[in-house]
Amino acid sequence: YSFLTAQRDDMLHARHKLDQVIAEMDKIMASRFETAYAQLSAAFDSSFTRLFGGGSAALCLTEPTDLLETGVEIRVNPPGKKVTNYNLLSGGEKALIGIALMFAMLEVRPTPFCVMDEVDAALDEANISRFTDYLAAKSSDSQFVMITHRQTTMESAAVLWGVAMEEEGVSKVVSVRLDNIEDRTA
């Protein structure tokens, strides 16, 4: 009986210690989430405004009182529109919102490089121009590898890489440095 009682007490003590550790971790995670959320929300509004040429955007918590269980909603107001439902936006506007959120994340937590696969496919020429201008401004912080078929996006690149299949099953890689071409013509 004494042995089993000691074992039970030891287990209850260990459980109490684990509960304390979990509560402390929850507190730290909630604090870090709150800080990151505030930074990301501000950066998202800024990148959205720049990419859309106006308007406003916000990230909103679905359960602001429970930061560990909350969801995050995106609310946007493009310039000249009153949006009541995200699904009413065009495909290009939805893509640009995603790009604005990605740039906001890179603002809060920069990475050495970022790979994007045809994120500009749904954008019109005016939005591509704002997107490539923003991309150029951010290129001093991160290196961007962009997969695209859009000529306007390619024209803003410093280096182009192309893959061609000259014969069945054999790929050939071609590269061109565009940043050097401009220097020679000036």
pLDDT of residue 182: 54
CA 78, distance to chain mean position in Å, is 19
Burial 33-61 (b: 16+ CB within 10 A, else e): eeeebeebbebbbebbebbbeebebebeb
> Which among 163, 134, 129 is positioned nearest to 147, based on CA atoms?
163
Q: Tokens for 47, please give them.
A: 């990148």
Examine the pLDDT at 186 and tell me if it is beyond 50.
no
On average, the pLDDT of the chain sits at 89
Type of residue numbered 124: D
pLDDT of residue 16: 96
pTM (2 d.p.): 0.79
Q: What digits encode the pLDDT tens for the residues 124-171? A: 888 899 999 999 888 888 899 999 989 888 888 888 888 888 888 888
Residues 12-25: what's their mean pLDDT?
A: 96
pLDDT of residue 184: 42
Distance CA 151, CA 49 (A): 25
Q: What digits encode the pLDDT tens for the residues 47-90? A: 999 999 899 999 999 999 999 899 999 989 888 887 767 778 88
Distance CA 112, CA 144 (A): 9
- Residue 71 main-chain phi, psi, to 5 deg: -105, 170
Q: How many residues are there in the chain? A: 186
CA angle 156, 114, 99 (to 5 degrees): 70
